[in-house]
Amino acid sequence: MFNDTFLRACQRDQTNSVPVWFMRQAGRYDADYRAIRKKYSLVEICEHPDVCVEVTKMPVDKLGVDAAILFSDIMIPIGAMGLPFVIKENVGPVIDTPIRHESDLHHLHTFVPEAALPHVLETIRLLKQDLSVPLIGFMGGPFTLASYMIEGGPSRDYLHTKTMMVSRPDMWQQLMDKLSEMIIVYGTAQVKAGASALQIFDSWVGSLAPSDYHQYVLPTMQRIFGALKELDVPLIYFGVNTGELLSTFAETGASVIGVDWRVPLTVARQRVGDNVALQGNFDPAMLFAPQSEIERRAQAILSEGTKAPGFIFNLGHGVKPSTDIAVLRELVAYVHQFRLTC
Ligand code: CP3
Protein backbone atom coordinates (compact mmCIF):
# COMPACT_ATOMS: atom_id res chain seq x y z
CA MET A 1 0.00 0.00 0.00
CA PHE A 2 1.23 3.49 -0.85
CA ASN A 3 1.82 5.79 2.13
CA ASP A 4 0.82 9.31 1.08
CA THR A 5 0.92 10.93 4.56
CA PHE A 6 3.88 13.11 3.59
CA LEU A 7 2.15 14.47 0.47
CA ARG A 8 -1.08 15.11 2.36
CA ALA A 9 0.74 17.07 5.06
CA CYS A 10 2.56 19.11 2.37
CA GLN A 11 -0.87 20.01 0.95
CA ARG A 12 -2.08 20.87 4.48
CA ASP A 13 -4.68 18.10 4.33
CA GLN A 14 -5.64 16.14 7.45
CA THR A 15 -3.48 13.14 8.31
CA ASN A 16 -3.80 10.43 10.97
CA SER A 17 -0.18 10.77 12.00
CA VAL A 18 2.64 13.27 11.49
CA PRO A 19 4.92 12.31 8.58
CA VAL A 20 8.67 12.26 9.20
CA TRP A 21 11.82 12.05 7.10
CA PHE A 22 15.36 13.29 7.71
CA MET A 23 17.54 15.54 5.61
CA ARG A 24 20.67 13.58 4.64
CA GLN A 25 18.91 10.38 5.69
CA ALA A 26 21.04 8.34 3.27
CA GLY A 27 24.59 8.22 4.42
CA ARG A 28 27.42 7.62 6.70
CA TYR A 29 25.54 6.83 9.94
CA ASP A 30 24.65 3.54 8.25
CA ALA A 31 27.15 0.65 8.04
CA ASP A 32 25.60 -0.72 4.84
CA TYR A 33 26.00 2.69 3.18
CA ARG A 34 29.63 2.83 4.31
CA ALA A 35 30.20 -0.63 2.80
CA ILE A 36 28.80 0.53 -0.55
CA ARG A 37 30.92 3.70 -0.37
CA LYS A 38 34.03 1.49 -0.08
CA LYS A 39 33.27 0.22 -3.57
CA TYR A 40 31.87 3.35 -5.21
CA SER A 41 32.43 7.09 -4.83
CA LEU A 42 29.39 9.30 -4.32
CA VAL A 43 29.40 10.25 -8.01
CA GLU A 44 29.77 6.59 -9.03
CA ILE A 45 26.74 5.65 -6.91
CA CYS A 46 24.73 8.26 -8.84
CA GLU A 47 25.97 6.79 -12.13
CA HIS A 48 24.76 3.27 -11.27
CA PRO A 49 20.93 3.31 -11.08
CA ASP A 50 20.73 -0.11 -9.38
CA VAL A 51 23.10 0.99 -6.59
CA CYS A 52 21.51 4.43 -6.36
CA VAL A 53 18.04 2.87 -5.98
CA GLU A 54 19.35 0.64 -3.18
CA VAL A 55 20.95 3.56 -1.29
CA THR A 56 17.83 5.74 -1.69
CA LYS A 57 15.57 2.96 -0.35
CA MET A 58 17.72 2.04 2.66
CA PRO A 59 16.39 4.69 5.09
CA VAL A 60 12.79 3.87 4.12
CA ASP A 61 13.31 0.20 4.95
CA LYS A 62 15.57 0.71 7.97
CA LEU A 63 14.04 3.76 9.66
CA GLY A 64 10.42 3.65 8.53
CA VAL A 65 10.39 7.25 7.26
CA ASP A 66 7.41 8.53 5.24
CA ALA A 67 9.40 9.83 2.26
CA ALA A 68 12.49 8.88 0.30
CA ILE A 69 14.92 11.48 -1.03
CA LEU A 70 16.80 10.77 -4.22
CA PHE A 71 20.42 9.90 -3.52
CA SER A 72 22.45 12.54 -5.35
CA ASP A 73 24.16 15.82 -4.52
CA ILE A 74 23.35 19.45 -5.23
CA MET A 75 26.61 19.67 -7.23
CA ILE A 76 25.85 16.87 -9.72
CA PRO A 77 24.17 19.18 -12.30
CA ILE A 78 26.95 21.76 -11.83
CA GLY A 79 29.46 19.17 -13.06
CA ALA A 80 27.13 18.53 -15.99
CA MET A 81 27.14 22.29 -16.75
CA GLY A 82 30.88 22.01 -17.36
CA LEU A 83 32.29 23.08 -13.99
CA PRO A 84 34.17 20.07 -12.58
CA PHE A 85 34.06 19.49 -8.80
CA VAL A 86 35.29 16.90 -6.34
CA ILE A 87 33.75 16.06 -2.98
CA LYS A 88 36.46 16.11 -0.32
CA GLU A 89 35.78 13.99 2.72
CA ASN A 90 34.68 16.08 5.72
CA VAL A 91 35.04 19.26 3.64
CA GLY A 92 32.41 19.18 0.92
CA PRO A 93 32.41 20.15 -2.77
CA VAL A 94 35.65 21.73 -4.07
CA ILE A 95 36.06 23.42 -7.47
CA ASP A 96 39.57 24.12 -8.77
CA THR A 97 38.43 26.65 -11.37
CA PRO A 98 35.90 28.88 -9.58
CA ILE A 99 33.89 31.53 -11.39
CA ARG A 100 35.53 34.90 -10.90
CA HIS A 101 35.43 36.62 -14.31
CA GLU A 102 32.77 37.21 -16.88
CA SER A 103 34.45 34.82 -19.32
CA ASP A 104 34.13 32.00 -16.73
CA LEU A 105 30.37 32.34 -17.02
CA HIS A 106 30.44 31.80 -20.77
CA HIS A 107 32.01 28.38 -20.27
CA LEU A 108 28.90 27.08 -18.51
CA HIS A 109 26.80 24.87 -20.82
CA THR A 110 23.07 24.80 -21.13
CA PHE A 111 21.88 21.90 -19.02
CA VAL A 112 19.73 19.29 -20.77
CA PRO A 113 18.81 16.71 -18.10
CA GLU A 114 18.02 13.78 -20.42
CA ALA A 115 21.34 14.21 -22.22
CA ALA A 116 23.51 15.19 -19.25
CA LEU A 117 22.18 12.95 -16.46
CA PRO A 118 20.22 10.04 -17.99
CA HIS A 119 21.26 7.74 -15.11
CA VAL A 120 19.63 10.05 -12.53
CA LEU A 121 16.33 10.01 -14.41
CA GLU A 122 16.57 6.24 -14.85
CA THR A 123 17.09 5.90 -11.07
CA ILE A 124 13.93 7.95 -10.46
CA ARG A 125 11.91 5.79 -12.91
CA LEU A 126 13.07 2.62 -11.14
CA LEU A 127 12.30 4.08 -7.70
CA LYS A 128 8.84 5.12 -8.81
CA GLN A 129 8.00 1.45 -9.50
CA ASP A 130 9.54 0.24 -6.30
CA LEU A 131 8.79 2.67 -3.46
CA SER A 132 5.83 2.57 -1.07
CA VAL A 133 6.40 6.22 -0.05
CA PRO A 134 6.75 9.42 -2.13
CA LEU A 135 10.12 10.25 -3.66
CA ILE A 136 11.49 13.74 -3.09
CA GLY A 137 13.63 15.08 -5.92
CA PHE A 138 15.93 18.00 -5.15
CA MET A 139 18.16 20.77 -6.44
CA GLY A 140 20.51 23.24 -4.75
CA GLY A 141 19.27 26.78 -4.35
CA PRO A 142 20.78 29.43 -6.63
CA PHE A 143 22.63 31.29 -3.85
CA THR A 144 24.06 28.08 -2.37
CA LEU A 145 25.17 26.72 -5.76
CA ALA A 146 26.62 30.11 -6.71
CA SER A 147 28.55 30.19 -3.43
CA TYR A 148 30.34 26.90 -4.25
CA MET A 149 30.90 27.98 -7.86
CA ILE A 150 32.36 31.38 -6.92
CA GLU A 151 34.24 30.51 -3.70
CA GLY A 152 35.54 27.20 -5.08
CA GLY A 153 34.47 25.37 -1.91
CA PRO A 154 32.79 25.81 1.46
CA SER A 155 33.11 29.25 3.01
CA ARG A 156 32.56 31.03 6.31
CA ASP A 157 31.92 34.54 5.06
CA TYR A 158 31.09 34.17 1.33
CA LEU A 159 33.36 37.13 0.53
CA HIS A 160 33.83 36.42 -3.19
CA THR A 161 30.14 35.62 -3.60
CA LYS A 162 28.87 38.74 -1.86
CA THR A 163 31.49 40.89 -3.62
CA MET A 164 30.30 39.72 -7.03
CA MET A 165 26.69 40.17 -5.98
CA VAL A 166 27.07 43.87 -5.10
CA SER A 167 29.92 45.01 -7.35
CA ARG A 168 28.98 43.08 -10.49
CA PRO A 169 25.18 42.75 -10.23
CA ASP A 170 25.10 42.13 -14.00
CA MET A 171 27.36 39.06 -13.65
CA TRP A 172 25.47 37.94 -10.56
CA GLN A 173 22.19 38.11 -12.46
CA GLN A 174 23.65 36.20 -15.42
CA LEU A 175 24.70 33.45 -13.01
CA MET A 176 21.29 33.50 -11.25
CA ASP A 177 19.60 33.19 -14.67
CA LYS A 178 21.76 30.23 -15.73
CA LEU A 179 21.17 28.49 -12.39
CA SER A 180 17.43 29.14 -12.34
CA GLU A 181 17.14 27.73 -15.84
CA MET A 182 19.01 24.58 -14.77
CA ILE A 183 16.92 24.26 -11.57
CA ILE A 184 13.65 24.59 -13.51
CA VAL A 185 14.48 22.06 -16.24
CA TYR A 186 16.08 19.63 -13.78
CA GLY A 187 13.13 19.82 -11.36
CA THR A 188 10.72 19.34 -14.25
CA ALA A 189 12.65 16.30 -15.54
CA GLN A 190 12.73 14.76 -12.04
CA VAL A 191 8.95 15.12 -11.64
CA LYS A 192 8.28 13.80 -15.16
CA ALA A 193 10.44 10.76 -14.29
CA GLY A 194 8.45 10.10 -11.10
CA ALA A 195 9.43 12.42 -8.22
CA SER A 196 6.35 13.35 -6.13
CA ALA A 197 7.79 16.49 -4.51
CA LEU A 198 10.82 18.77 -4.94
CA GLN A 199 13.03 20.32 -2.29
CA ILE A 200 15.35 23.23 -2.97
CA PHE A 201 18.31 23.15 -0.59
CA ASP A 202 19.42 26.77 -0.28
CA SER A 203 21.50 25.76 2.71
CA TRP A 204 23.74 28.84 2.95
CA VAL A 205 21.33 31.62 1.91
CA GLY A 206 20.84 32.51 5.59
CA SER A 207 24.20 34.30 5.41
CA LEU A 208 22.44 37.18 3.62
CA ALA A 209 20.82 40.20 5.24
CA PRO A 210 17.05 40.26 4.57
CA SER A 211 17.35 43.34 2.32
CA ASP A 212 20.08 41.66 0.25
CA TYR A 213 18.02 38.47 -0.02
CA HIS A 214 15.10 40.58 -1.17
CA GLN A 215 17.13 42.38 -3.83
CA TYR A 216 19.53 39.71 -5.11
CA VAL A 217 17.79 36.36 -4.60
CA LEU A 218 14.01 36.67 -4.14
CA PRO A 219 13.22 37.49 -7.81
CA THR A 220 15.17 34.39 -8.90
CA MET A 221 13.33 32.20 -6.36
CA GLN A 222 9.99 33.58 -7.53
CA ARG A 223 10.89 32.76 -11.12
CA ILE A 224 11.93 29.21 -10.12
CA PHE A 225 8.90 28.40 -7.96
CA GLY A 226 6.59 30.15 -10.44
CA ALA A 227 7.75 27.78 -13.18
CA LEU A 228 7.84 24.63 -10.97
CA LYS A 229 4.30 25.33 -9.72
CA GLU A 230 3.01 24.11 -13.10
CA LEU A 231 4.13 20.60 -12.09
CA ASP A 232 1.54 20.52 -9.31
CA VAL A 233 3.77 18.84 -6.70
CA PRO A 234 4.78 20.13 -3.24
CA LEU A 235 7.70 22.56 -3.45
CA ILE A 236 9.86 22.68 -0.31
CA TYR A 237 12.34 25.50 0.35
CA PHE A 238 15.01 25.05 3.02
CA GLY A 239 18.02 26.94 4.30
CA VAL A 240 20.01 27.08 7.54
CA ASN A 241 19.96 30.18 9.76
CA THR A 242 17.05 31.67 7.86
CA GLY A 243 14.95 32.89 10.80
CA GLU A 244 15.04 36.51 9.65
CA LEU A 245 14.24 35.50 6.05
CA LEU A 246 11.18 33.37 6.82
CA SER A 247 8.56 36.04 6.12
CA THR A 248 10.20 36.66 2.72
CA PHE A 249 10.37 32.89 2.07
CA ALA A 250 6.56 32.93 2.17
CA GLU A 251 6.68 35.23 -0.89
CA THR A 252 8.82 32.86 -2.98
CA GLY A 253 5.93 30.61 -4.04
CA ALA A 254 7.18 27.57 -2.07
CA SER A 255 4.38 25.46 -0.61
CA VAL A 256 6.44 24.01 2.27
CA ILE A 257 9.08 25.92 4.23
CA GLY A 258 11.91 24.20 6.09
CA VAL A 259 12.90 25.64 9.46
CA ASP A 260 16.02 25.02 11.52
CA TRP A 261 16.12 24.65 15.32
CA ARG A 262 17.03 28.28 15.97
CA VAL A 263 13.43 29.36 15.36
CA PRO A 264 10.56 28.00 17.48
CA LEU A 265 7.86 26.61 15.19
CA THR A 266 5.20 28.95 16.61
CA VAL A 267 7.40 31.92 15.66
CA ALA A 268 8.07 30.40 12.23
CA ARG A 269 4.31 29.98 11.73
CA GLN A 270 3.68 33.65 12.57
CA ARG A 271 6.34 34.66 10.07
CA VAL A 272 5.23 32.50 7.13
CA GLY A 273 1.44 32.74 7.59
CA ASP A 274 -1.13 29.98 7.09
CA ASN A 275 -0.81 29.28 3.37
CA VAL A 276 2.27 27.06 3.54
CA ALA A 277 3.21 23.87 5.38
CA LEU A 278 6.20 23.80 7.76
CA GLN A 279 8.97 21.21 7.94
CA GLY A 280 11.50 20.82 10.76
CA ASN A 281 13.15 21.42 13.15
CA PHE A 282 14.84 18.99 15.57
CA ASP A 283 18.46 19.98 16.26
CA PRO A 284 20.57 17.11 14.79
CA ALA A 285 23.09 17.53 17.62
CA MET A 286 20.31 16.66 20.10
CA LEU A 287 20.14 13.14 18.63
CA PHE A 288 23.12 12.56 20.95
CA ALA A 289 21.02 13.41 24.05
CA PRO A 290 19.54 10.74 26.38
CA GLN A 291 16.41 9.07 24.96
CA SER A 292 14.05 10.79 27.45
CA GLU A 293 15.43 14.20 26.47
CA ILE A 294 15.05 13.39 22.76
CA GLU A 295 11.42 12.46 23.37
CA ARG A 296 10.76 15.59 25.41
CA ARG A 297 12.10 17.77 22.59
CA ALA A 298 10.27 15.81 19.88
CA GLN A 299 7.04 16.16 21.85
CA ALA A 300 7.51 19.94 22.07
CA ILE A 301 8.10 20.17 18.31
CA LEU A 302 5.10 17.97 17.55
CA SER A 303 2.71 19.95 19.72
CA GLU A 304 3.92 23.29 18.32
CA GLY A 305 4.08 22.09 14.72
CA THR A 306 0.59 20.60 14.68
CA LYS A 307 -1.18 23.74 15.92
CA ALA A 308 -1.96 24.52 12.26
CA PRO A 309 -2.55 22.04 9.41
CA GLY A 310 0.51 21.12 7.36
CA PHE A 311 3.44 19.87 9.43
CA ILE A 312 6.25 17.50 8.46
CA PHE A 313 8.67 16.40 11.19
CA ASN A 314 12.32 16.63 10.14
CA LEU A 315 15.66 17.73 11.53
CA GLY A 316 16.70 21.38 11.30
CA HIS A 317 19.65 20.28 9.11
CA GLY A 318 21.24 17.02 7.99
CA VAL A 319 21.84 13.86 10.04
CA LYS A 320 25.38 13.85 11.49
CA PRO A 321 27.49 10.90 10.29
CA SER A 322 28.14 9.66 13.85
CA THR A 323 24.43 9.45 14.74
CA ASP A 324 23.26 6.09 16.13
CA ILE A 325 20.86 4.50 13.64
CA ALA A 326 18.79 3.07 16.52
CA VAL A 327 18.13 6.60 17.78
CA LEU A 328 16.80 7.60 14.36
CA ARG A 329 14.57 4.54 14.25
CA GLU A 330 13.18 5.28 17.72
CA LEU A 331 12.54 8.91 16.83
CA VAL A 332 10.53 7.89 13.75
CA ALA A 333 8.45 5.52 15.91
CA TYR A 334 7.97 8.25 18.51
CA VAL A 335 6.71 10.73 15.89
CA HIS A 336 4.38 8.12 14.44
CA GLN A 337 2.74 7.33 17.78
CA PHE A 338 1.93 11.02 18.35
CA ARG A 339 -1.76 11.54 17.75
CA LEU A 340 -3.14 14.74 16.34
CA THR A 341 -5.60 16.27 18.75
CA CYS A 342 -6.81 19.14 16.58
O1 CP3 B 1 19.55 13.63 1.98
C2 CP3 B 1 20.01 12.58 1.47
O3 CP3 B 1 20.28 11.58 2.14
C4 CP3 B 1 20.16 12.51 -0.04
C5 CP3 B 1 21.44 12.78 -0.57
C6 CP3 B 1 22.09 14.16 -0.47
C7 CP3 B 1 23.50 14.30 -0.50
N8 CP3 B 1 23.79 15.62 -0.54
C9 CP3 B 1 24.46 13.17 -0.55
C10 CP3 B 1 25.79 13.39 0.05
C11 CP3 B 1 21.54 15.43 -0.42
C12 CP3 B 1 20.09 15.88 -0.33
C13 CP3 B 1 22.64 16.37 -0.47
C14 CP3 B 1 22.46 17.83 -0.51
C15 CP3 B 1 23.62 18.70 -0.29
N16 CP3 B 1 24.91 18.55 -0.70
C17 CP3 B 1 23.54 19.96 0.37
C18 CP3 B 1 22.28 20.55 0.95
C19 CP3 B 1 21.93 19.93 2.27
C20 CP3 B 1 22.79 20.39 3.42
O21 CP3 B 1 23.36 19.51 4.09
O22 CP3 B 1 22.86 21.58 3.66
C23 CP3 B 1 24.82 20.53 0.38
C24 CP3 B 1 25.22 21.85 1.00
C25 CP3 B 1 25.69 19.63 -0.32
C26 CP3 B 1 27.13 19.77 -0.60
C27 CP3 B 1 27.86 18.68 0.11
N28 CP3 B 1 28.04 17.40 -0.40
C29 CP3 B 1 28.40 18.69 1.42
C30 CP3 B 1 28.43 19.90 2.35
C31 CP3 B 1 28.89 17.39 1.68
C32 CP3 B 1 29.47 16.85 2.99
C33 CP3 B 1 30.96 16.84 3.06
C34 CP3 B 1 31.42 15.96 4.21
O35 CP3 B 1 32.14 15.00 3.95
O36 CP3 B 1 31.04 16.21 5.37
C37 CP3 B 1 28.66 16.61 0.53
C38 CP3 B 1 28.98 15.17 0.36
C39 CP3 B 1 27.80 14.28 0.48
N40 CP3 B 1 26.65 14.43 -0.23
C41 CP3 B 1 27.70 13.09 1.28
C42 CP3 B 1 26.45 12.54 1.01
C43 CP3 B 1 25.88 11.25 1.55
C44 CP3 B 1 28.74 12.54 2.25
C45 CP3 B 1 29.97 12.09 1.61
C46 CP3 B 1 30.09 10.64 1.20
O47 CP3 B 1 29.35 9.73 1.58
O48 CP3 B 1 31.03 10.46 0.44
In a domain, 237, yes or no: yes
Q: Is the CB of 24 under 6 A from ligand 1?
A: yes
Please compute, for residue 82, the number of CA atoms within 13 A of its CA located in the half-sphere on the CB side.
Answer: 12
Q: State residue 256 phi and psi, 5-degree precision.
A: -135, 135
ipTM attached to this prediction: 0.93
CATH of the domain at 79: 3.20.20.210
Residues of the chain with pLDDT under 50: 342
Is 20 among the domain residues?
yes
pLDDT digits (tens, 9 = 90+) for 48-76: 999 999 999 999 999 999 999 999 999 99
Answer yes or no: are the C-beta atoms of 188 and 231 closer than 8 Å.
yes
Ligand 1 centre distance from Cα of residue 161 (Å): 21
Of all helices (H) and strands (E), which one includes residue 238? strand 235-238
Question: What is the number of domains present in the chain?
Answer: 1
Q: Is residue 342 part of a domain?
A: no
- Asked if residue 260 is part of any domain, the answer here is yes
- Is residue 305 in a domain? yes
Q: Is 252 in the pocket of ligand 1 (CB under 6 A)?
A: no
Q: Ligand 1 within 6 A of 71 CB? A: yes
Q: Given this model, what pLDDT does residue 27 score?
A: 85
Please give the full DSSP string across 111-165, using - where no structure is assigned.
Answer: P-HHHH-HHHHHHHHHHHHH-SSPEEEEEE-HHHHHHHHHHSS--SS-HHHHHHH
Q: Please indicate whether residue 89, judged by its CB atom, sits closer than 6 Å to ligand 1.
A: yes
Summarize pLDDT for 183-192 with one digit per residue, the tens: 999 999 999 9
CA distance 183 to 25: 22
Residue range(s) defining the domain that contains residue 60: 5-337
- The protein residue with its alpha carbon nearest to ligand 1, atom 25, reads 74
- Please tell me if the CB atom of residue 26 comes closer than 6 angstroms to any atom of ligand 1: yes
Indicate if ligand 1 lies below 6 Å from the C-beta of 37. yes
Catalytic residues: 24, 28, 37, 73, 148
**Cα distance between residue 6 and residue 162, in whole Å:** 36
Structure confidence at residue 341 (pLDDT): 57
CA distance 323 to 287: 7
CA of 278 to the centre of ligand 1 (A): 22
> Binding site annotation covers 27?
yes
* 8 assigned to a ligand binding site: no
Q: Quick one: pLDDT at residue 71?
A: 98
Q: How far is the CA of 11 from the centre of ligand 1 (A)?
A: 27
Closest atom of ligand 1 to 88 CA is 35
pLDDT of residue 342: 45
Residues in the chain: 342
Q: Indicate the DSSP class of residue 217.
A: T
Cα of 274 to ligand 1 centre, how many Å? 31
Half-sphere exposure of 51 (CA within 13 A, CB side): 19
